[in-house]
Amino acid sequence: MSAEQPNEQNEPIMDQHQAPDTDKIAGIVVQTRSDVGTETPERIIEVLRQRFADAGLDVSDEETADLAQQIATGDAKAE
């Protein structure tokens, strides 16, 4: 029998503080712009798809292409 201690951490902290998907997407876009912003849109799409998959995000091909184009052209509207 195990007695729980007060203030004992029983769940991963990440479960308590999930960022909304839009915040996750915005963060991935910022990082991708920094990492591969000078690459071709096709390469940026590859990187975005992989990062969205790694983050468990379901982002449409159309939105991914739009974001890649914004990154490639330096458009600050990427969200």
Residue boundaries of the structural domains of the chain = 19-73
Dihedral angle computed from the Cα positions of residues 53, 59, 62 and 67, in that order, rounded to the nearest 10 degrees: -80
Reported as a single tens digit per residue, the pLDDT across 50-71 is 999 999 999 999 999 999 999 9
What's the pTM value of the predicted model, to 2 decimals?
Answer: 0.72
Question: What distance lies between CA 26 and its chain's CA centroid?
Answer: 6
DSSP helix, strand, coil percent of the chain (3-state; round to 5): 60, 0, 40
Q: Which two tokens stand for residue 24?
A: 């996750």
Is the CB of residue 32 less than 8 Å from the CB of residue 47? Answer: yes
Within 10 angstroms of residue 57's Cβ, the number of other Cβ atoms is: 14
Residue 56: per-residue pLDDT: 96
